[in-house]
Amino acid sequence: MEQYIRSLVEKSVQGVLADGTVNESGRRGLVIGNWKMNMSIEEAALLFEGMKGEAPACDVAVCPPFPLLYPVKVMLAQFQDQIVLGAQNMHWADQGAHTGEVSASMLKELDCRYVILGHSERRQAGETDEEVNLKVKQALSEGLQPVLCVGETKEEREQGRSGEVVISQLHAGLDGVENVNSVVVAYEPVWAIGTGLAATPEQAQDVHRTIRQTLTNQFGDAAARVPLLYGGSVKADNALSLAVMDDIDGALVGGASLIAVEFKGVIDGFSRG
């Protein structure tokens, strides 16, 4: 396996990095694969073998489990920055007695560009808005781009509170943040994560518009440059319909990011959208 990984790194990628599609606000499409607690080294290598081909016209990142960060970093060398590395979480402290945690500086040392923060699966495990906020500020101070996740439960949506919940999570997560230029926001309705149910493009756009307006109220013109991602059962067959919405700039992809043909399909959708 080690020899196989090394051979992947040594192979050159043909073609030149695409310029990519940028919308009127200067936001380039962004697709991030969240592998969650999935994949082995061998499975990751097979995934990347299937990802070879024409350079995508949008930015792409993958966020493996912590033990796979270095092996995946090695494998990604073959893509010449067409696919970059991210992490699924981090602690807000620089270092210390925090068993089972990792710091932002550790992630930076592995060339991580993004870190997912405030994912609903972590919020459901007890993570608070205050902790998410500490992590966002620490990530920014270390030069990482936080992917701040927000989203409502099925019950909250049925109560008509989607906008209220998302606005509250945004305000709490970005409290004390002065510069939003390096922030990414991902709207992930909890009821659509891993359920096979996806918000319609119109439903997702409606919440994304609320997010954009909330950011504009807080940060002014800089909000127009913040990438807004949709997550929740995003697949190859619904990516383009989401990508053509005005305020949906990309996707935070779960299960589909584990399958090369599906992940490439999502990337293609946001490259064309």
91 in active site: no
Q: Report in angstroms the alpha-carbon separations of 243 from 55, 149, 156, 177, 181.
A: 18, 18, 25, 28, 21
Options 121, 152, 188, 262, the catalytic residue? 188
Residue list for the binding site for substrate: 34-36, 194, 233, 254-255
Judged against a pLDDT cut of 70, whether residue 224 lies above it is answered with yes
Confidence of residue 21 (pLDDT cuts 50, 70, 90): low
Query: pLDDT tens-digit profile of 130-186?
Result: 999 999 999 999 999 999 999 999 899 889 999 999 999 999 999 999 999 999 999
Q: Where are the domains of the chain?
A: 29-272
Judged against a pLDDT cut of 50, whether residue 230 lies above it is answered with yes
Give yes or no for a contact between 256 and 51, defined as CB atoms under 8 angstroms apart. Answer: no
Which run of H or E residues covers position 187? strand 184-187
CATH class (in words) of the domain with range 29-272: alpha beta
Confidence of residue 7 (pLDDT cuts 50, 70, 90): very low
- When pLDDT is averaged across residues 185-206 and rounded to a whole number, the result is 88
Judged against a pLDDT cut of 80, whether residue 14 lies above it is answered with no
pLDDT at residue number 196: 75
13-17, 51-55, 59-63, 194-198: the lowest-pLDDT one: 13-17
Give yes or no for a contact between 92 and 131, defined as CB atoms under 8 angstroms apart. Answer: yes
2-16, 64-78, 195-209: the lowest-pLDDT one: 2-16
Give yes or no for a contact between 84 and 60, defined as CB atoms under 8 angstroms apart. Answer: yes
Query: pLDDT tens-digit profile of 81-126?
Result: 999 999 999 999 999 999 999 999 999 999 999 999 999 999 999 9
pLDDT at residue number 243: 96
pLDDT at residue number 6: 44
188 in active site: yes
Judged against a pLDDT cut of 70, whether residue 9 lies above it is answered with no
pLDDT at residue number 25: 57
Judged against a pLDDT cut of 60, whether residue 269 lies above it is answered with yes
Tell me the C-alpha distance between 68 and 189, whole Å.
Answer: 27
* E strands in 49-183: 59-63, 84-87, 112-117, 145-150
Query: pLDDT tens-digit profile of 27-74?
Result: 899 999 999 999 999 999 999 999 999 899 999 999 999 999 999 999
Options 119, 121, 152, 208, the catalytic residue? 119
- When pLDDT is averaged across residues 11-21 and rounded to a whole number, the result is 35
Residue list for the binding site: 34-36, 194, 233, 254-255
pLDDT at residue number 23: 55
Confidence of residue 11 (pLDDT cuts 50, 70, 90): very low
